[in-house]
Structure 1
């Protein structure tokens, strides 16, 4: 009788024999995406002056955001039909080409084109990385992988702006773009052997609604870019642009998100919604805190920025903690705890609008909010993969990231509109925007129990669009 080889045991840690290069390469790519997103903000004022391109300043941010929205949808369809290998390689190629075009630009219009290409590559990459986690790592390790991804965002948030400032001052702004490809290509080469080990995915025909879904993504991306642009304007023009953009988003975004999303249907629709609410709450408060501390408490920009650094560090701590906790009995435990921390932390920060409340309360509150995001983000990413059929990991991962981006863009635009009322923001404006952020978190707390799918109910894998 011929002996049958036993199946290989699943790896027990991220650096098991099959996974070290995959883990290091994936985390490196996430770090590069994070660094570029943060560093460009530091370099862009110098870029605009150098290229005499202030008129296109907003488009240099809104353009890549819009192309990234489209790319997330394309990548989700592509990953489900062909596997993550091709979207990964194309994502790196678009990302690198965009950086090279932007770094070599002689006019602001050319730089914007490079940024749009770069944003498209980032969107392809971000979804492909999620699908790789779903295919290459056992479920027991996914929380740790996403914790490593969170840490890969935290380090650039701590050193990225300062490093970018040094590069701009001593080497020139072009090197903020041109230096990154030297690391991006080796990082994706580290991932390639692991992708090859996964084996080729049998090609399947994209779903019949794929072209329409890409069309809706184009509409959502254009609306999001318009929302971003309108949020930077003032007066009646800003109001008109924001209204038009919101109408566009309301028409397009539901076509890209899971069926039942607006009704917070149990399972995946609620998971996507919680990620969006958390992102909106955190982003909405994050942009207000430095402004409030600078104007109302006399903080220098560096000191105000250090408060945000505290939140980034506690986010990393929360991610590390959730990756080492025993799997909770209920899937709702970590999302509810994380959103509770975001809500409570934002409310504590809001107290410092009152002059009698000491500033350390803002530091404490933001540390609590960051801890909540660390508990929440990886757990929702794991839930998304757990609620996805093998052929739908790309689609659902793209929905998760789309909800994240679109919710945050909407709240940031509304925050800008509120703060623009009157000659200068005042305590009432800060309180209103922080209340909106805390309200998003509280709504998430109330809905968190709906991430659990009752055993008698079939898992809602299919989506609309």
Structure 2
């Protein structure tokens, strides 16, 4: 027995038909705000620091953004339910726009940090609600294609973001690079007002779970602080404290009258719970390549910034290309295989990077990067869709909105764990190529072990999904 909505055929061109084109553009633009903003800021901020000072605060421009984006994402489903998607999206876009203007016209790093905090809060809410809108605006047969289109946006941002920001910073000013977000945000607001209907129930009185949101922010802040600590003991304590705090939030949330998460979040006996573990653990495992790969290529093999950046971008290219290719799959059995294959390729890719550094062969390391990107590309859309469609009655918004938030949290946790492994292996103190290579190998061995958890969850999800479908039938 097959649901026609699931197994029916579809074409990429259908996303551009009058029925879906505005929705496709809106959701992709929501992703573009997040993607381009990251690359624009990372490229132009060093120049800003040279002009207005505050070098000692530069890392906080990224940390505060990350923490507030995760807090905003955690509240996205609640805001959508209480305010309506249209009001929540326009409001959060205005917050993002205000943050952009404050940062662009800042005269000190303190003002930049205020702007980045508002950017993070607004963008976190936008990303969460855009995810929650996907199953509302598109039939099931098109969902994988929507994720494929978003992957293309990320790939374009990975290449175009640094290029645009670099040219604007060099030819005009770093402020011009920040201001690229202004027209994007205004177009996004206009599209939201056009395609997202007003809430039929009006604005509801809202009880905001400030304690839980503050605890989430504090937990992610502990993770971020752990990633910059030099003492291994402090790193361990901060990561352990974050884990306890975040686990407590999830446990308390299940008993709350105003939950932020689906009731079976991270439960090992449900499709949603297992799926969320995959969404968390895959970025945790992959984060080491984002933090240490470019640096190691430069220090170990003498790569310049451009060459090392292009090397690292093979991950995004592989993700995008594979996401486009597998979006043509409609058979649920094939999608289940992709969910298993994705984490398996992640582990294979990380192990290949270990092998590449052991053999001192750059091409082998690049192969590992491509395998990791392929792993994300073949499974990410299907894992996300499975979580969305398997959520319990009335919980689809919370399950969908949690996906991008959890992905960001995974990268933050992964960066901290990679930093802990790096310090324990002596990476910062490495003075010879051999010492640097050995420390790098240790970092990626730890990442490979974490990836095994994601792989186990991928295989468990297939079995749980079979049981879930059997019960429904």
| Same-fold call, TM cutoff 0.5 | yes
Q: Which residue of 2 aligns with 1:364?
A: 367
Alignment of 1:43-442 (within 5 A): 43-196=44-197, 200-202=199-201, 211-212=208-209, 214-235=210-231, 239=235, 241-252=238-249, 255=253, 257-259=261-263, 261-329=265-333, 332-354=336-358, 356-389=359-392, 391-421=394-424, 422=426, 423-424=429-430, 426-442=436-452
Mapped contact 2:131–2:404 kept (Cα < 8 A): no
Q: Deviations over 1:268-315 (max 9, x none)?
A: 001111011111122223322222222222322322222211111111
* Most deviating of 40-49 and 110-119: 40-49
What SS does the corresponding residue of 2:332 show, helix, strand or coil?
A: coil
Give 1:412 shift.
0.5
Q: CA 1:447 to 1:145, structure 2 compared with 1: closer, same or farther past 3 Å? A: same
What SS does the corresponding residue of 1:287 show, helix, strand or coil?
A: helix
State the distance in 1 between where 2:267 and 2:355 align. Answer: 32
Q: Which residue of 2 aligns with 1:463?
A: none
Mapped contact 2:418–2:447 kept (Cα < 8 A): no
Give 1:440 shift.
2.4
State the distance in 2 between where 1:60 and 1:286 align. Answer: 17
Mapped contact 2:132–2:401 kept (Cα < 8 A): no
State the distance in 1 between where 2:140 and 2:65 align. Answer: 33
What SS does the corresponding residue of 1:143 show, helix, strand or coil?
A: helix
Q: Deviations over 1:340-368 (max 9, x none)?
A: 111111111111221x3522111112111
Mapped contact 1:69–1:402 kept (Cα < 8 A): yes
State the distance in 2 between where 1:263 and 1:333 align. Answer: 22
State the distance in 1 between where 2:200 and 2:350 align. Answer: 44
* Most deviating of 49-58 and 88-97: 49-58
Mapped contact 2:70–2:217 kept (Cα < 8 A): yes
Give 1:201 shift.
4.1
TM-score normalized by the length of structure 2: 0.86
Give 1:217 shift.
2.3
Q: Which residue of 2 aligns with 1:25?
A: 26
Mapped contact 1:315–1:372 kept (Cα < 8 A): yes
- Whether 1:449 aligns to 2:446 is no
What SS does the corresponding residue of 1:326 show, helix, strand or coil?
A: coil
Q: Aligned Cα RMSD in Å?
A: 2.7
Mapped contact 2:322–2:374 kept (Cα < 8 A): yes
* Most deviating of 309-318 and 326-335: 326-335
Mapped contact 1:96–1:181 kept (Cα < 8 A): yes
Aligned length: 445
State the distance in 2 between where 1:34 and 1:122 align. Answer: 10
State the distance in 2 between where 1:48 and 1:230 align. Answer: 24
Q: Deviations over 1:358-406 (max 9, x none)?
A: 2211111211111111112211221122123563232112322332222
Mapped contact 1:77–1:206 kept (Cα < 8 A): no
TM-score normalized by the length of structure 1: 0.88
Q: Deviations over 1:251-278 (max 9, x none)?
A: 3355465555555223100111101111
Mapped contact 1:335–1:375 kept (Cα < 8 A): yes
Q: Which runs of 5 or more residues in structure 2 are unaligned? A: 1-7, 254-259
* Most deviating of 437-446 and 311-320: 437-446
Mapped contact 1:342–1:441 kept (Cα < 8 A): yes
Q: Deviations over 1:306-353 (max 9, x none)?
A: 221111111101110121123332653221111111111111111122
Q: Which residue of 1 aligns with 2:15?
A: 14
Mapped contact 1:281–1:441 kept (Cα < 8 A): yes
State the distance in 2 between where 1:261 and 1:431 align. Answer: 33
